Homo-oligomer: A and B are copies of this chain.
Amino acid sequence: MAIRDGVRSSFVIYVALFLLGCQDSVKGHFLSTSKPDRHDAAASARWLVSQNSWGVLNTLSSDLGGTPFGNVVSFSDGPYDKGTGIPYFYLTTLDPTARNALKDQRSSFTISEYPLGTCGKRDPMNPACAKITLTGKLKELEENSKEAELARNALFTKHPEMKGWPKKHNFQFFELEIEDIFLINWFGGPKALTVEQYLHHRKDKSNSIQWMPY
């Protein structure tokens, strides 16, 4: 019985480690907020943006004749649970995305729920595995402005590695000024969601459901 007890208690410990460790391996931190009720489009959109740390930023390629050019970037809309909904970026003109945006600000930013690990066994393209595309203008923030300070705090909190990125690469802060939102978080097509509803969403008014891995 002593052996069985030992095995059983170690089982509990390692299953707990397994569940915790998997989340950590997926996104580098524990989900800080449970997944919102899918009927609340604003809450779902804000949750997706606040819980993710990277996405694909799309601009019009000046090198490739105006072809849409997606690029993997890190972003932040604020510290976890204190997000504003506005995605901030730290970009260098050594990379095409910043160069493109300085010539034509039209842009979109795309995020998937899939890498959060909360889609269970669903395919990444299953409508119940949420995805969002924020469309608008990608704007460089004026150095030492209040907005640049907000962006710095938002980004360096979620991406501490950025603090050490080479000064000579001349990274600058950018913001996506959102004009349109494309959100799918269930079957039945995109959810109706205005930019105002998204930006003015207050988390304390949302219903949320407990996150379950499957």
Report which A residues bind B (CB closer than 8 A): 2-4, 6-7, 10-11, 14-15, 17-18, 21-22, 25-26, 28, 53-61, 64-74, 90, 94, 96, 106-112, 114-115, 117, 121-126, 131, 133, 135, 159, 161-162, 180, 182, 189, 213
Q: What residues of B have a CB within 8 angstroms of the CB of A4 in the complex?
A: 6
Q: Is the CB of B7 within 8 A of A18?
A: no
In addition to A25-B25, A26-B115, A67-B106, 17 A-B residue pairs with Cβ atoms within 8 Å of each other are A7-B10, A10-B11, A18-B22, A56-B110, A58-B68, A58-B69, A58-B108, A64-B135, A65-B106, A67-B108, A68-B107, A71-B131, A71-B133, A71-B182, A74-B125, A123-B159, A126-B161
A25/B28 contact (C-beta < 8 A), A2-B3, A68-B69, A69-B133 known: no
